[in-house]
C-alpha cells in the first residue's frame, strides 16, 4: 500500500464516526431509504435511555429522594420553571414535550462523545441534518397546530397582517408585505432550528476528529501530546455544548409554541 493510500485509510478510519452506515438494508419507499442505519440505532438507544431514566424514577418515587430521583426532579423543575414557565396555563400540556426534546437531544449529544470501538459503528445522530430537521419539523407541526386550533384560520393568519389602526390606504400593501414576511419566518423556523443544532454538533466533532487524525498520521510524541491534550479539553467543552444546544433547541421551541398560542396578543 502506498503512503498516500495509507494516510487516506487512516483519515477514513477517523472520520467513520460521521458516516451513516447501513446495518439492515430494506427496500426504499419512493425517495425514502427505509434501511436501518447506525444513525437510527443510536437514535433508538438514546430514546430508550431517556424512557428508562424517567420510567425508573417514576416507579421508585420516595418521600426522601435518592440521587436519581433528585436529578429527575431537577430536570422537571428546570422544564416547568425556567424553560416553559412563561407559557402559562394554555401551554401547560407542552411542559413534558419540551422536557423530552431537551433530554433526547442532550442524550444523543453525550452518547456521541463517548469513545466506542469501530465495530459498534459509532455515530452522533445530531450531526445529521436529516435528524435535526426531523425534530425541528415536529416542532413546526405543533406550532402550526396550536395556532390554527386556538385562533382558527382567519384569526391565526390575521395575526400575520398589519396591526389594527393602520390607515385603509396603507392596509392592503402593508398586509401583503407583513403576510409574506411572516410566512417566510414561519417556514424558516424549522430550518434555523435544524441547521443550528446540526452545525454546532458537526463542527465540534470535526475539530476533535481532525486532531485525532493528526496523531494517527504523524505518529510522533511532539504531535500526539498537544493534540491529545487538546482533544481532552475539547471533549470537556463539547459536554457543555451538548447541554447548551439541547437547551437552545428546547427554549426556541417554547418561544415558537408560545407565539402561536398567544398569536395576536
Nearest to residue 125, comparing CAs of 149, 142, 146, 106? Answer: 106
Of residues 147 and 219, which shows the higher confidence score?
A: 147
The C-alpha cell 495509507 sits at: 6
Nearest to residue 79, comparing CAs of 256, 247, 252, 260? Answer: 247
Residues 158-183 have a mean pLDDT of 80
What is the reported pTM?
0.85
Q: In this predicted model, what pLDDT tens digit does every residue of 119-142 receive, in sequence order? A: 888 888 999 999 999 999 999 999
Checking if the pLDDT of 96 tops 80, the result is yes
Residues 147-160 have a mean pLDDT of 88
Residues 17-21 have a mean pLDDT of 80
Percent residues over pLDDT 70 in the chain:
85
pLDDT (0 to 100) of residue 1: 47
How many other CB atoms sit within 10 Å of the CB of residue 61? 10
Residues 26-43 have a mean pLDDT of 88
Domain ranges across the chain: 18-23+31-261
Of 5-9, 20-24, 106-110, 202-206, the one with minimum mean pLDDT is 5-9
Longest dimension (CA), the chain: 77
pLDDT (0 to 100) of residue 133: 95
Alpha carbon distance 85, 254 (integer Å)? 9
Of 8-12, 16-20, 211-215, the one with minimum mean pLDDT is 8-12
Residues 183-203 have a mean pLDDT of 91
Amino acid at each position: 500500500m502506498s503512503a498516500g493510500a495509507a494516510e487516506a485509510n487512516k483519515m477514513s478510519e477517523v472520520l467513520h464516526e460521521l458516516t451513516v452506515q447501513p446495518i439492515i438494508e430494506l427496500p426504499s419507499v419512493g425517495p425514502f431509504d427505509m434501511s436501518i442505519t447506525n444513525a437510527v440505532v443510536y437514535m433508538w438507544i438514546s430514546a430508550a435511555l431517556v424512557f428508562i431514566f424517567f420510567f425508573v424514577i417514576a416507579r421508585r418515587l420516595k418521600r426522601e429522594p435518592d440521587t436519581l430521583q433528585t436529578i429527575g426532579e431537577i430536570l422537571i423543575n428546570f422544564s416547568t420553571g425556567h424553560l416553559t414557565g412563561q407559557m402559562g396555563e394554555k401551554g401547560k400540556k407542552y411542559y413534558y414535550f419540551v422536557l423530552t426534546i431537551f433530554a433526547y437531544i442532550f442524550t444523543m449529544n453525550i452518547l456521541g462523545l463517548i469513545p466506542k470501538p469501530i465495530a459498534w459503528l459509532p455515530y452522533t445522530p445530531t450531526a445529521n441534518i436529516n435528524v435535526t430537521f426531523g425534530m425541528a419539523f415536529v416542532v413546526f407541526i405543533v406550532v402550526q397546530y396550536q395556532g390554527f386550533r386556538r385562533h382558527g384560520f382567519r384569526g391565526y393568519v390575521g395575526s400575520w397582517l398589519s396591526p389594527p389602526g393602520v390607515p385603509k390606504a396603507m392596509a392592503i400593501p402593508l398586509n401583503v408585505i407583513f403576510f409574506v414576511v411572516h410566512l417566510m419566518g414561519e417556514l424558516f423556523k424549522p430550518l434555523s432550528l435544524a441547521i443550528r443544532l446540526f452545525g454546532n454538533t458537526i463542527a465540534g466533532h470535526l475539530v476533535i476528529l481532525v486532531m485525532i487524525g493528526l496523531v494517527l498520521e504523524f505518529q510522533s510524541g511532539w504531535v500526539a501530546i498537544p493534540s491529545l491534550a487538546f482533544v481532552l479539553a475539547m471533549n470537556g467543552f463539547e459536554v457543555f455544548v451538548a447541554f447548551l444546544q439541547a437547551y437552545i433547541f428546547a427554549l426556541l421551541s417554547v418561544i415558537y409554541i408560545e407565539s402561536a398560542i398567544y398569536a395576536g396578543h
